[in-house]
Each structure stands twice: as C-alpha cells, then as structure tokens.
C-alpha cells in the first residue's frame, strides 16, 4: 500500500519553505525599517563606521546554508516519492497534440478526458504527436511535459471523487489555452462499466467517424451542431459552397470529397474566409481509411 | 553656473560632428551611455505597452480585446523586448557606461569605438525585433524562449525575431569584453582591486558572464534559423534530433542571463546605501566576492528551468542542489546591506527609498525562487503564473527598481540638475503599491494552477486577474509620474552641485555634468571607496 | 602586466589592452563552437554506430589535405608577424599573401567536397538523406553546419587579412605598430584550432 | 619601449618551422592511429592528439607563451566552463 499522495507531499514541502521564507522576509524588512527609523539623520547625526564582524558574517553564511540544504533535502525526498510509481498502478497512455489530449487505456479504449477509478494509483505514459505540451493536473500537484519522440511519465493517487481540471502547461501554439480537459474520478464500479462499454454513438451509420473526430481532437475546434467554434462547424458542410482564401486571393469552392480531404490533410492551402490558419495539418496523423470514415460521417451531417 | 576656468561639460563639446550626429557617432562613453539610456527608455515603453495590453486581455475570461494569436505574439514581443532590449543591456550599458570610467578614474572605456558599435548593433537588433511585428507572416508567437520544435514549425515571423536577438547578443558581448578590458587596464594609479567601488565589481562580474554565456545563445539562435531554412533536424525527433537539447542550450545562456540582469542592480544598491547612511559599507570583500560567486555558480544551475521537461532525475537533483547554492551569496548581500544601515546617519531620499523597496521586493522574488528551485514544489508551479510573479518580482521589483534608484542617484551628475524630491516620492508610492497589486495575486493564481501564456482562463481565476489588471494601471500611473518628473527636471530642475549627496567615489569629484575628458588630472587613489571619516 | 595605464584616450596605445580584447573575443568564439561540439557529443553518444558508418562517406584524403593547408597557413601567418617585427616588410607581405592564398585553397577544396556531396543528394533535408538512419541524418547535419560555420570563419579571416595586407602596404601597420596584424593572426590561428578538432571528429571516426 | 608594451620580442623563424613540423607529424600520427579500429579508445587518442596540437598552436603561434599571467589563466575559464556545460548536459543525456 502506498501512504500519502502527491497533493499532500507538495503542500507540506511548500508550507515548510513558505514559513521559513516569511520569517526571513519579515525579519529582514523589519530590521531594515527599524534601522532606518532609529538611525535617522535627525536622531543620529554621527554615524559609526563598522567594517565587518566576523562572527556575524559566519552566522549568516552558515545558517542559510543549513536552511537551504534542508529545503533541498525535503524537496528531493518529496520528489522521489512523486517519481516512484507503485507497481499496481493502472497505466494510461496520454498523447498531446495541437490542441487536445488523448488518453488510451490498456484495453484500447480512447478518450479525450481522463477517467480513473477512485483510490487506485494511475500511471500516465506521456508523449506528443507534434510539439511539446505539458500535462498538468493542479489538484494533484503533478505535471510533466509531453515531448515528441520521447516517453515521460507521471503517477498519482486519485483519492477524492470528482472532476478536476487538466491543463496544457507548456506553450504549444495558438490554442494553447484551450487545450484543457478533465480528470474524472469515479468509483471503481462506475469506472468498470464505462471501461468495458463500447462507445457507440447512436443514430449514426458511421460510428467510427464520430469516434475519430473525438480522438483526433477535431471536436475541440469544430462542432457538429452548426455552432461556430474555433473552426467552421461541420454541420451541413458537405455540398456547400465555401469562400476560401488561397495565396491571398478569394475563391469559391464546392465542398466535395476532394475538398474535404484536402482541407483535412493540408488545411493551410485553402483558408475558409473569416478564419485563420491554425488548424494542424493531419498529413502525418491519419490514414486514408480514417479520412474516408470521417468524410462519410461528415456527409451524414446535413 | 560654471566658472570660467572650469572645463566645458561633455554636452557642450561633441567632437567633430554637429547636432544629432555628434551623438550617434560619438565615442565618448558618457554620450553613449545617454544614447543607450534614451533607447532603453523607448523600448521599455513599447514592451510595457504590450504588458498593459496583455493585462487588459486578461481582465476577464474569454476574448476581451484581441484574438489568441495576437495575445501570443504580445507576450512573445513583451518578453523579447523586456529581456533582450531592456533588462539585459539595462544598467551596464547606461549607468555602467557612464560611471564605470568615472569611478575607476579613467578618461573612457578601453575600446570607445567598439562601444559605439555595440550601440549600433543594439539599435539594429531592436529595430529588427520591432519589424518582426509587421513583416512576414504575422508576428512571432513562440514566447521569448523560442522552444523547439514549435518555433521551427510555426509559420510566423520567428526567423527575424531570432535574428534580432542574435544581433543583440553580439552587442552584449562587445559591451562585456570592453568592460573586462577597461577594468583590467584603465584603473587610476592606486586604484587596486579592493579599492574599486562595488558597482565596478558588479559590472566586472557581469561582464565575464556576458562574454562566456552569450555565445551559447548566439549559436542556439543561429541553429533555430538554420533549422527553419534547411531543416537539418537537430531538434526534430523525426530526424533523430532531441528537442530537450534545445532547452539545454537555451538555458545554458538564459539562466546566467538572469544574473547579468540582477548583479549590476545589486551593485547600484551597494553604491547607494553607504552614501545615504553616511557610513562605510559593511563587509566590502564579502560583497565583492559574492558578486563573483553568484556569477560563477549561476553557470551551473540552468537545469532548474527543465524540471518537468523530461530530463533525467539524476540531473534534476544536482541542478536543484546547485540552485540553492546561489541563494547563499545573494543572502550575504542582503544581510550586508541591512547591516550597512546599522548605526548610520540615514536620510531617506528617493534613491534610498527605491533601494529599500528593492531589498523587500527582491527578497520576495528570491525567496519564491527557492520554491521554484525545490523539486517537489517546482512540479506544481512550473509553467504557471507563480513563475510569472517570481520573475517580475526579481526583474521589475529587483533590477528595474534598482535601475530607478540609480537614475535618481546619479541624475544630478548626469544632467547637472536636481529632480523634484517631493514628486519623486509621490511617484514611488504609486509604483510600489501598484507593483504589489499587479504581481502579488499572480503567486496565488499560480498556486491555484493557472498556467502562464494563457489567453483565456477558467472563471475561477477571474477575481485575482481583475485585481492584477487594476494594479497594472496604478503601476503605470506611478511610472508616468516618475518619468515626467525626471524628464521635466532635465531642463527645469535646480542646478546641482558636483557632490549633492556627499558621495565618496571618484565620479563625485568632477563637475556636474562631467567634462569630456572626465578628469583634468588623473586622480591618484590612496584609500578604499567608502571612507566617511 | 598589471601596471595600469592612465594616459588620455586619444594618445595612448595600449597593446596589451587590445590583445586582451581580442582574446576575450576568441573566448566567445570558443564557446560559440562549443555549443556545436556539445550537440556533436550528445548525438555521437546516442548513435555511435551510425556515426561511424556515415563517416565512411567522407574522404579522409581531402580532410588531410585541408589540414595540411590550414596548418601551413598558420605557419605563414605566424612568420609574417616575426618578419614584420624584424623590419622585413617585403617578406611579411609575401607571407601574408601566402596565408590568404592558402585560406582560399582551403575554401576551394571545401567547395568541391560539399559540391560532390550535394551532387550525390546528401544535404540537409534531402530525400536521399532522410531515408537513412537518424544517426546519419544527424551526422551530415552536423557536418554541414559545423564545417559551414567554420568555413564562414575562414572567409571572414581572409577578408580581415586582405585589410591587413593593405594596411601593411600603406604603412599603417609597421614594425612598431602591428597589434592589428597580431590580432588578426590570433583569429586565424583560432580558426585553425577549430579545424584541428573538426578533422578527427568527422573524418577519422573508427 | 615598444617591446615592453607588446610583451615579447619577435619569435625567430626556426621555432615556428619546428612547431609546424611537429603539427604535421602529429596529424600523420592521428591518421595512422585511427586506421586501426579501436572503437572508443580511437576517438580518445584522436582528441588527445588534437588537444596537443591546439596547445602547440596556442602556446607558440598565438604567443601565449610570451604573454602575462592574465592571458594564461583567463584562457582556462572558457575551457572549464565548456567542460562543465558538456558534463552537466551529459548528466541528463546519460541517465535519461
Ligand atoms: C533578475 C532575474 C532573476 C533572478 C535574480 C532570479 C533569481 C532566482 N531564480 Fe529565477 N527566473 C527568472 C529571473 C530571475 N530569477 C526568470 C526570467 C525566470 C523565468 C523564465 C521563463 O521561463 O520565462 C525564472 C525562473 C526560475 C525558475 C524556473 C521555474 C520554472 O519555470 O519552473 C527557477 C527554479 O529554480 C528559478 C529560481 C531562482 C532562484 C533560486 C534565484 C536566486 O538567485 C534567488 C536568490 C535570492 C534569495 C534567496 C533572496 C535573498 C536571500 C536571503 C534573504 C537570504 C536568506 C535565504 C535563505 C535562507 C535561502 N527561477
Ligand atoms: C524586465 C522585464 C519585464 C518587465 C519590466 C515587465 C513588465 C510588465 N509585465 Fe511582463 N514579462 C516579462 C518581463 C517583464 N515584464 C517576461 C520575460 C515575460 C515572459 C514572456 C513569455 O512568456 O515568453 C513576461 C510576461 C508577462 C505576463 C504573462 C503573460 C502570460 O504568460 O500569459 C504578464 C501578464 O500579466 C506580464 C505583464 C506585465 C506588465 C503589466 C508589466 C508592467 O509592469 C509594465 C509597466 C510599465 C508601464 C505601465 C509603462 C508606463 C509608462 C508609460 C505608459 C509611458 C509614459 C510615457 C511618458 C511619460 C513619456 N508580463
Ligand atoms: Cu499544448 Cu500547450
Ligand atoms: Cu534560472
């Protein structure tokens, strides 16, 4: 069994340093102001020259040294705790991409939010599909960057049920601040039923397409209900006439399969009027089949 | 009120050129110092304007005044300008240029023409940085850290901004090698190492950091440009590169750079305290060596910016330990400053007022730096507004406050006039109050988890952000008052005598403003700098 | 050397000061290349085998010839200063000219070497290179960047030496006032030293 | 007078030619040594020889030998700093 969690660990270290810092700050400030008042020129016209005092100087070298070494040690041992994931931890793969998270569970289930069972340690294996992101869960005081081409990790003990914020903490481009998600801590029972259920969107002939849109983070910027998000809505897109800007010139195009495909693979080529070129290109990110699944689903969205 | 036999001040004899040319082609260190001062001021205003705009955007969640990509270029330009154009050159190139030769009893710096070249490079870099706003495909949006691989992939005008920073680095190197040589070669007879004013010591330590650290920045930025144009792949994992190496290279420079910012500021503080306490400095040698100590240890702690980046845990532990060692020489200085007030005969004029607030604000910034440097806590607060608060406290509350202190302190020497004391104190009040209202809430926001470089934030962070934005206006009012007072006094202030504060260092022995040649007769130094017998 | 100077800025000539400035500048150059050597060290550590394989693609003979050229140019550079100090202006001029020629020969050689590589499709970002192993991509990346920046330094050195040649002809540089030439020499030798390390690191990995 | 200020008298031609010969010889040795496949040791030897060559150039061609204490000591600074840079970076790379 593990004892303690990262929240407490970090809070304790923080409190320890904070108390020392406040005591130091107050005593320094107080002494300074006291001197300024006491030895004011009016009260004390004749200064006294004191060039040094060996004992005093040794004291204020030695005492801070001891203090900082204590801080270091305390911080380091807390850190070691945070870096040693328990054996029985549930592992979840977390992938950051511009600008969404994808969590993949051991059974292959993927989601954009992190759902974990209450009371069971979780180990996150983190990487990135494009640039550097940072996976940050303030409530559990943990954070680690998602670096492309590398795997990093985090672990935590979700010992309180509820929903907690999950941020991207490393600047990653235009929508960095909307790369937010949630950690949802639910009782084991609820988790199990969610975990084993197959995600099927009802009423769609192309459930695969829906799933892909979620997984790839498209729905962070696009909606399926006609509302304009960061990007244009998918609703009624297929077969519409779209005004795009290409190479600085306006042009009208017909949203057919070829156009959609191009828009997904190389969004920078035709920019929809009124939007900016911020959509991440999917050329390295999606297979042919995946794209056609998505397009099939888009056709459905009348 | 100059007597007939007094030599003409450096304002009156500008060398071979006339008018503006006598300034931009001057090799006189005093004129170059003033050129720099004016340019720094202009860039500071531009940077500050971005700061105010950012605060305005953050006044409420959601979009307030600008779009996300505009906001991103705001903090990038804000960071680039404040760091590379304001605070790194800052004190050394303006006050340092003006007073280093005067304080060591020299007629000029070792390489006057290189000094001028460095100003030209500075201006070139500055103008290029501003140009990156309006040219290319949109202003750069990487943050001042230019982290790869984002900085290589983004379509915005990063190359020009990076090139500007590269040139600014060059300018900084030239200043550094000039100062090292000046201190070694041009000290007046009798001015032994331990008779140098402590401001000179701090500039000397800084100059070495400039020489030894800046080239790493140079090559790193050059590599970004090469990557963008040729795609060599040094930082691109798909070609085998390692993005973390970029961060290593960047912080190898940029951590020492924070000591380029603070050490001269500490020098200014050390200069002012004994003058207004009318007593000698406490622990001269300890202060001199701690400048060198901070500069030296500062080279080996860069990894503390990368505790969550995925570097090895071994290196994290060592970098954290070394980070704490920097606190010790900083502490020595703080304690020595306080001790130098003991049994003095203190008059709290504006320079000392700024110095006292410096000590207070720097301690807050420094002590929270320890929270950053502690492994466990850093994990939580890295990349949040806690960090933003930390570095504004040390850079603005620290360096900039000391800069303002120095400006007031040396104002009569530079311009030959006094500023209005009452107005200066009034402005200080707004500055100090506004500063704390602006930045203190950020500590709390950061601890609550609000990430930095966020254009938009959750509603739970609203109140503190609102307070912070209001603080930014109070601070702006204070700054405007201060600048108006100073600028007005250049023409309208009372004439200043040559030594209004009764200082004991050499610059106070020459007329205000000083003559071109500084000293009619090179002085012979017979004692240490702070002798109030 | 610690006697300090305090003459008026217009009249003094501080030789030691000038050289000090030059050395400090060279320190910055050392660390500038240092950043690249750091990258080299890390990537070589990560991909030792691929680096070895890639290095076979470079021609040791060309590298060796270039080493010979640069070392010799360093000799002529050093000699030219001694010649000037001894008052033999003509010999000094000849030697300076030789140095420039050797520098140009080095660059010519480099040009051919690069040209051949590029002709074979090996250059940063080329398709031919990208299909190879990551270590090889990095090796050639480092090769082009490091020898490129080094070559740039040689080019700048040649430019500086051309000025020195003119100054010597005009007599601005003479046997009592040659610190400019000496400083240019320092720069030239420094560039040579960089090559002394580049040569084994790229051409001789076994 | 001038000599005192420049710090040293003209170095004679012979010294330079001798150093040059040594440099060429060392180059030959490096090439020869690295023809045997020695793996890690090869690079070490090559770098060692390169350092000796660099030292010769510094000491003689660059007149470090004839300069004052400042130059000799200051020169160590960038080297030490650089060694630390590499060392600390490897603390990460090696243990990652
Ligand atoms: C002027 C500039 C300046 C200065 C002086 C400092 C000083 C310090 N800084 Fe700061 N720092 C920055 C500018 C500066 N910093 C910037 C710009 C960033 C962010 C960059 C970015 O990401 O954009 C940053 C970020 C930063 C981080 C990285 C945070 C992160 O991103 O995760 C860390 C971590 O260790 C850190 C630590 C410190 C420490 C320990 C000091 C120490 O030097 C402080 C020493 C001072 C004191 C400790 C106070 C006085 C001493 C006493 C009163 C004595 C008693 C003390 C004890 C008993 C200990 N800083
Ligand atoms: C010296 C350095 C310095 C200084 C002085 C400042 C000053 C200010 N900064 Fe700072 N800031 C940085 C360095 C600095 N900054 C850096 C390095 C970053 C990181 C960037 C990054 O993430 O990449 C940063 C980031 C940063 C952020 C975080 C952005 C984010 O992460 O989302 C914020 C947000 O509030 C901010 C605000 C401000 C404000 C309001 C000021 C204000 O204090 C400005 C106050 C000044 C004025 C208000 C000027 C008043 C004067 C006038 C208007 C002129 C009047 C003229 C006459 C009378 C002639 N800054
Ligand atoms: Cu992803 Cu910031
Ligand atoms: Cu730092």
Phi, psi torsion values for C57, nearest 5 degrees: -75, -10
Contacting residues of D for B308, CB less than 8 Å apart: none
Give the SS3 label for residue B345: coil
Of D70, D81, D88, the CB nearest to B184: D70
The alpha carbon of residue A50 and the mean position of all alpha carbons in its chain are separated, in whole angstroms, by 54
Q: For chain A, which domains are there?
A: 6-82 (1.10.287.90), 90-196 (2.60.40.420), 207-298 (1.10.760.10)
Distance CA A95, CA A135 (A): 9
* Cα B186 from Cα B173, distance rounded (Å): 19
Residue A179 Cα to ligand 3 middle (Å): 6
Please identify, in words, the CATH class of the domain defined by B21-509. Answer: mainly alpha
The answer, as to whether pTM is greater than 0.95, is no
Domain count, chain D: 1
Q: Residues B48, B50, B56, B62: is their CA dihedral positive or negative?
A: negative
Is the CB–ligand 1 distance for residue A68 below 6 Å? yes
Q: How many CA atoms lie within 13 A of C134 on its CB side?
A: 16
Which tokens in the block code for residue A152? 């990093």
Q: Indicate if ligand 2 lies below 6 Å from the C-beta of B34.
A: no
Q: Quick one: pLDDT at residue B215?
A: 94
pLDDT of residue A71: 93
Chain B contacts to D (CB-CB under 8 A): 184, 208, 212, 216, 244-245, 248, 252, 299-300, 302-303, 310-315, 318-319
Give the residue-averaged pLDDT of A63-91: 92
Domain spanning C2-203, CATH class: mainly alpha
Alpha-carbon span C134 to C121, nearest angstrom: 16
Is B1 or A176 the better-scoring residue by pLDDT?
A176
Cα A14 from Cα B391, distance rounded (Å) = 18
> Which tokens sit at A92?
């979840």
* Distance from C-alpha of A34 to C-alpha of B371, rounded to nearest angstrom: 28
Is residue D18 situated within a structural domain?
no
Q: Is the ipTM above a cut-off of 0.85?
A: yes
pLDDT digits (tens, 9 = 90+) for B346-400: 999 999 999 999 999 999 999 999 999 999 999 999 999 999 999 999 999 999 9
Distance of alpha carbon C107 from alpha carbon C157, whole angstroms: 12
- Distance from Cα B324 to the centre of ligand 4, integer Å: 11
- Least Cα separation, residue D92 to chain C (angstroms): 10
Q: Which ligand is nearest to the CA of B391?
A: 1
For residue D83, give Cα distances in angstroms to B291, B376, C5, D76, D78. 22, 29, 35, 11, 9
Q: Is D83 on the interface with B (CB under 8 A)?
A: no
Nearest in space to B126 (alpha carbons), one of B81, B88, B96:
B81
Give yes or no for a contact between A12 and A162, defined as CB atoms under 8 angstroms apart: no
| Set of chain B residues whose Cβ sits within 8 Å of the Cβ of D89 | 245, 248
Q: How far is CA B519 from CA A158, B7, B182, B188, in A?
A: 72, 10, 16, 11
Contact B230 C32 (CB under 8 A): no
My answer on whether omega of the bond before B76 falls inside 30° of 0, hence cis, is: no
Contact B219, B249 (CB under 8 A): yes
pLDDT reading at A168 higher than 70: yes
* Residue spans of chain B under pLDDT 70: 1-7, 14, 533
Q: Do C39 and B234 touch (CB under 8 A)?
A: yes
Name the residue facing A144 among B68, B153, B308 (closest C-beta).
B308
Whole-number Å distance between alpha carbons of B373 and B320? 6
Alpha carbon distance B245, C37 (integer Å): 12
For residues B240 and C138, the answer to whether their CB atoms sit within 8 Å is yes
* Distance between Cα B258 and ligand 4 center (Å): 7
Which of B86, B390, B397, B442 most suits a substitution to test ligand 1, by most atoms within 8 Å of the C-beta?
B390
pLDDT at A226: 65
Determine contact: B214 vs chain C, CB below 8 A.
yes
Residues 6+ apart with CB under 8 A from B411: B417, B418, B419, B486, B489
Q: What is the structure's pLDDT at A5?
A: 85
Q: What is the pLDDT of residue A248?
A: 65
CA–centroid distance, B256 to ligand 4, in Å, is: 7
Continuous segment of H or E residues that includes residue A181: strand A181-186
Cα separation of B511 and B514, whole Å?
A: 5
Local confidence pLDDT in tens for the 206 residues of chain C: 333 333 333 345 678 888 899 999 999 999 999 999 999 999 999 888 888 888 888 888 888 999 999 999 999 999 998 888 888 888 989 999 999 999 999 999 999 988 888 888 888 877 777 778 888 889 989 999 999 999 999 999 999 999 999 998 888 887 777 888 889 999 999 999 999 999 988 888 76
CA–centroid distance, B248 to ligand 1, in Å, is 17
Q: Quick one: pLDDT at residue C148?
A: 93
Residue-wise pLDDT tens for chain D (96 aa)?
Answer: 333 344 467 778 888 899 999 999 999 988 888 777 666 777 888 889 999 999 999 988 888 888 878 888 888 999 999 999 999 999 998 988
Whether B218 and C32 lie within 8 Å, measured CB to CB:
yes
pLDDT tens column, B30-76: 999 999 999 999 999 999 999 999 999 999 998 888 888 899 999 99
Closest chain B residue to the Cα of A284, Cα to Cα: B238
Residue identified by tokens 């004899």 is B13
Contact check, Cβ <8 Å, B245/D94: no
User: Hey, CA dihedral for D31, D34, D40, D41, is it positive or negative?
Assistant: negative
CB-based contacts of B30: which residues, under 8 Å, 6+ apart?
B10, B97, B98, B414, B513, B514, B516, B518
pLDDT confidence of residue D14 = 87
Q: Rounded to 5 degrees, what angle do the CA atoms D88, D92, D96 make?
A: 160
B453 closest CA partner among B467, B440, B442, B444? B442
* Confidence at residue C13, expressed as pLDDT on a 0 to 100 scale: 65
Tokens of A71: 């801080």
Instruction: Yes or no: say if A115 and B415 are a contact pair by the CB < 8 Å rule.
Output: no
Domain boundary assignment for chain C = 2-203
Flag whether D19 is in a domain: no
From CA A67, how far away is CA A65, in angstroms rounded?
A: 5
Q: Which atom of ligand 2 is nearest to the CA of B442?
A: 35
Query: What are the tokens at B42?
Result: 């202009």
Q: Distance between CA atoms of B464 and B462, rounded to whole angstroms?
A: 6
**Predicted local distance difference test score (pLDDT) of residue C12:** 52
**Which residues in chain B touch residue A47, judged by CB atoms under 8 angstroms apart?**
277-279, 343-345, 532
Ligand nearest to the CA of B329: 1
Distance (Å, rounded) from C-alpha B235 to C-alpha B239?
8
> What confidence score (pLDDT) does residue B353 get?
94
Determine phi and psi for C54, rounding to 5 degrees: -65, -35
What is residue D64's predicted lDDT score, i.e. its pLDDT? 83
Question: Please, which pLDDT band fits residue A227 given cuts at 50, 70 and 90?
Answer: low
Cβ contact C145–B223 (<8 Å): yes
The pair of three-digit structure tokens given for residue B210, joined into one six-digit string: 């400039």
**Contact status, residue A156 vs residue A140, Cβ threshold 8 Å:** yes
What ligand has the least distance to the C-alpha of A167? 3
The answer to whether the CB atoms of D88 and B312 lie below 8 A apart is no
3-state secondary structure of B242: coil
Domain residues for the domain of D54 are: 37-96
A200 near A129, Cβ under 8 Å? Answer: no
């Amino acid at each position: 069994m593990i004892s303690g969690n990262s929240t407490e660990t970090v809070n304790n270290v923080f409190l320890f340093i904070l108390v020392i810092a406040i005591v130091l700050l107050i005593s320094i400030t107080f002494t300074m102001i006291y001197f300024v008042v006491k030895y004011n020129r009016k009260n004390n016209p004749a200064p006294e020259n004191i060039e040094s005092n060996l004992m005093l100087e040794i004291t204020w070298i030695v005492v801070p040294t001891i203090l900082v070494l204590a801080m270091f040690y305390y911080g380091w041992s807390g850190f070691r705790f945070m870096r040693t994931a328990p054996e029985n931890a549930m592992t979840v793969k977390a992938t950051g991409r511009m600008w969404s998270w994808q969590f993949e569970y051991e059974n292959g289930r993927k989601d954009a939010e992190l759902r974990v069972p209450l009371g069971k340690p979780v180990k996150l294996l983190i990487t990135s599909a494009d640039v550097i992101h940072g996976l940050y869960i303030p409530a559990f005081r943990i954070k680690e960057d998602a670096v492309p081409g590398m795997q990093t990790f985090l672990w935590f003990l979700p010992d309180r049920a509820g929903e907690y914020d999950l941020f991207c903490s490393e600047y990653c481009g235009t929508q960095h601040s909307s790369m937010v998600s949630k950690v949802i801590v639910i009782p084991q029972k609820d988790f199990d039923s969610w975990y084993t259920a197959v995600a099927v969107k009802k009423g769609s002939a192309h459930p695969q397409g829906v799933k892909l849109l979620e997984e790839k983070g498209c729905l962070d910027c696009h909606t399926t209900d006609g509302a304009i998000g960061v990007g244009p809505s998918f609703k009624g897109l297929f077969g519409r006439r779209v005004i795009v800007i290409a190479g600085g010139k306006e042009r009208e195009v017909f949203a057919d399969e070829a156009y959609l495909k191009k828009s997904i693979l190389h969004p920078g080529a035709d920019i929809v009027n009124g939007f900016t070129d911020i959509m991440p290109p999917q050329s390295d990110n999606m297979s042919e089949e995946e794209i056609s699944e998505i397009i099939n689903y888009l056709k459905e969205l009348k | 009120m100059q007597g007939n036999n007094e030599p003409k001040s450096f304002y009156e004899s500008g060398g071979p050129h006339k008018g503006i040319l006598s300034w931009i082609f001057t090799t006189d260190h005093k004129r170059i110092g003033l050129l720099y001062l004016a340019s720094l001021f202009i860039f500071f205003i531009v940077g500050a304007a971005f700061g105010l705009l950012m605060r305005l955007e953050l006044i409420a969640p959601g979009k307030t005044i600008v779009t996300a990509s505009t906001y991103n270029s705001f903090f990038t330009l804000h960071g680039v300008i404040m760091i590379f154009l304001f605070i790194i050159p800052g004190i050394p190139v303006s006050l340092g240029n003006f007073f280093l030769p005067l304080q060591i009893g020299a007629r000029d710096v070792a390489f006057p023409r290189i000094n001028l070249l460095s100003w030209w490079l500075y201006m070139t870099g500055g103008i290029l940085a501003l140009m990156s706003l309006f040219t290319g495909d949109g202003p750069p949006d990487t943050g001042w850290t230019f982290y790869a691989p984002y900085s290589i992939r983004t379509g915005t005008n990063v190359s020009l901004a990076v090139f500007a920073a590269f040139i600014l680095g060059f300018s900084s190197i030239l200043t550094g090698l000039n100062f090292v040589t000046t201190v070694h070669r041009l000290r007046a007879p009798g001015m032994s190492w331990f008779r140098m004013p402590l401001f000179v010591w701090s500039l000397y330590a800084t100059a070495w950091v400039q020489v030894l650290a800046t080239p790493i920045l140079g090559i790193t930025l050059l590599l970004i440009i090469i990557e963008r144009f040729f795609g060599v792949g040094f930082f691109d994992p798909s070609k085998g590169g390692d993005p973390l190496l970029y961060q290593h290279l960047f912080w190898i420079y940029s951590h020492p750079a924070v000591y380029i910012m603070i050490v001269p500021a500490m020098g200014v503080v050390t200069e002012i305290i004994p003058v207004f306490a009318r007593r000698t400095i406490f622990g001269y040698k300890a202060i001199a060596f701690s400048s060198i100590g901070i500069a030296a240890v500062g080279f080996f702690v860069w990894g503390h910016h990368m505790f969550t980046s995925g570097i090895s845990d071994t290196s994290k532990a060592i970098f954290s330990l070394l980070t704490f060692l920097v606190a010790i020489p900083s502490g020595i200085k703080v304690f020595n400053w306080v001790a130098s007030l003991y049994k003095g005969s203190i008059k709290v004029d504006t320079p000392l007022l700024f110095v006292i607030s410096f000590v207070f604000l720097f301690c807050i910034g420094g002590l929270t730096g320890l929270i950053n440097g502690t492994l466990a806590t850093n994990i939580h607060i890295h990349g949040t507004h806690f960090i933003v608060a930390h570095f504004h406290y040390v850079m603005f509350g620290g360096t900039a406050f000391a800069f303002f202190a120095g400006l007031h302190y040396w104002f009569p020497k530079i311009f030959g006039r006094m500023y209005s004391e009452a107005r200066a104190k009034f402005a200080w009040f707004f500055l100090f109050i506004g500063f704390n209202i602006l930045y203190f809430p950020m500590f709390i926001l950061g601890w609550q988890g609000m990430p930095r470089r966020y254009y938009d934030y959750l509603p739970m962070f609203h109140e503190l952000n609102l307070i912070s934005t209001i603080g930014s206006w109070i601070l702006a009012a204070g700054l405007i008052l201060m600048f108006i007072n100073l600028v007005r006094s250049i023409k309208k202030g009372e004439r200043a005598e040559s030594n209004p504060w009764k200082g004991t260092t050499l610059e106070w022995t020459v007329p205000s403003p000083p003559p071109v040649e500084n000293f009619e007769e090179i002085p012979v130094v017979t004692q240490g700098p702070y002798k109030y017998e | 050397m610690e006697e300090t100077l305090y003459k008026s800025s217009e009249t003094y000539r501080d030789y030691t000061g000038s050289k000090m400035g030059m050395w400090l500048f060279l320190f910055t150059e050392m660390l500038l290349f240092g950043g690249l050597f750091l990258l080299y060290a890390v990537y070589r550590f990560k991909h030792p085998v691929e680096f070895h394989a890639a290095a076979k693609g470079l021609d040791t003979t060309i590298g060796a010839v270039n080493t010979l050229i640069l070392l010799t140019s360093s000799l002529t550079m050093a000699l030219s200063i001694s010649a000037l100090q001894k008052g033999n202006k003509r010999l000094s001029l000849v030697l300076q000219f030789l140095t420039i020629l050797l520098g140009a020969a080095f660059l010519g050689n480099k040009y051919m070497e690069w040209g051949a590589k590029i002709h074979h499709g090996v250059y940063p970002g080329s398709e031919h290179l990208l299909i190879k192993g990551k270590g090889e991509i990095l090796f050639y990346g480092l090769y082009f960047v490091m020898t490129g920046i080094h070559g740039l330094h040689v080019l700048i050195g040649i430019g500086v030496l051309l000025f020195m040649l003119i100054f010597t002809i005009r007599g601005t540089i003479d046997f009592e006032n040659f610190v400019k030439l000496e400083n240019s020499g320092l720069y030239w030798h420094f560039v040579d030293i960089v090559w002394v390390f580049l040569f084994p690191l790229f051409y001789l990995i076994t | 007078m001038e000599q005192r200020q420049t710090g040293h008298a003209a170095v004679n031609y012979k010294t330079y030619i001798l150093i040059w010969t040594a440099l060429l010889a060392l180059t030959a040795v490096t090439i020869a040594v690295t023809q045997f496949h020695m793996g890690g040791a090869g690079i070490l030897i090559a770098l060692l020889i390169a350092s000796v060559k660099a030292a010769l150039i510094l000491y003689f061609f660059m007149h470090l030998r004839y300069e004052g204490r400042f130059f000799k000591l200051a020169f160590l600074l960038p080297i030490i700093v650089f060694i630390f840079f590499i060392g600390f970076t490897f603390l990460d790379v090696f243990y990652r």
